[in-house]
Copies of this chain bind each other. A is one copy, B any other.
């Protein structure tokens, strides 16, 4: 690690994708400058740095620019070797990536679709999301403290939003996904995750998020994914 390296993160206060990058940098102990972007009135800087997607997070490290939270996490893990996010063994790495991808495609997208839709479509999305959490629950049964073992790793970071965002989405969308009776291992993981020293003070205020997601879910139809896949 160079002594004078410069790390900047372009973010948006309520983005779970940005939070992933913040968690990873904090776990690594990398100092960074956070620059708040208004994603509804994008700056010239953002459009210059990420012309393809024009989305946050964008990581700028000594002049090189990286976008997409999944890609940034791999970059961070490869650049700063301390406190690894991914295991060393190729098979264990494949498992971590597999479950991260599963969580994103099945739980994140499912819950978001359920939040932003109504009627039959909402019920279908809800059912698929619950089934995905059930699969995850089975996976967690034999796990240690975290997916990453005794410390928070790649899969924990990708999945981390369910600890704080999902209960808010449940409230805004009048729906129930995280049933503690059905999913005791998942809920126990959530409680451990929320208490972790790196994680616990990083979330935006709940009341502000309730207002934000209430507005967003009303503004967006289920066909539009809004800031999904930032």
Contact = CB atoms under 8 A, between A and B. Distances in A.
Interface of A: 52, 61, 64, 66-68, 70-72, 74-75, 78-79, 90-91, 93-94, 97-98, 101-102, 105, 135, 229
A91 B66 contact: yes
A66 B79 contact: no
B52 A64 contact: no
Chain multiplicity (copies): 2
B90 A135 contact: no
A7 to B, nearest CB: 13
A114 to B, nearest CB: 16
A interface SS class: helix
A66 B78 contact: no
Count chain B CB atoms within 10 A of each CB in A74, A105, A229 and give the residue with the most.
A74
Q: Most chain-B Cβ atoms within 10 A of its Cβ — which of A71, A79, A91, A94? A: A94
Given A52-B102, A229-B105, A93 B78 contact: yes
A72 B90 CA distance: 10
Given A66-B94, A67-B98, A78-B90, 13 more contacts: A52-B135, A64-B91, A68-B98, A70-B101, A71-B94, A71-B97, A71-B98, A72-B94, A74-B93, A74-B94, A74-B97, A75-B91, A105-B229
27 contacts: A52-B102, A52-B135, A61-B91, A64-B91, A66-B91, A66-B94, A66-B98, A67-B98, A68-B97, A68-B98, A68-B101, A70-B97, A70-B101, A71-B94, A71-B98, A71-B101, A72-B94, A74-B94, A74-B97, A75-B90, A75-B91, A75-B93, A75-B94, A78-B90, A78-B93, A79-B90, A105-B229
Contacts of A52: 102, 135
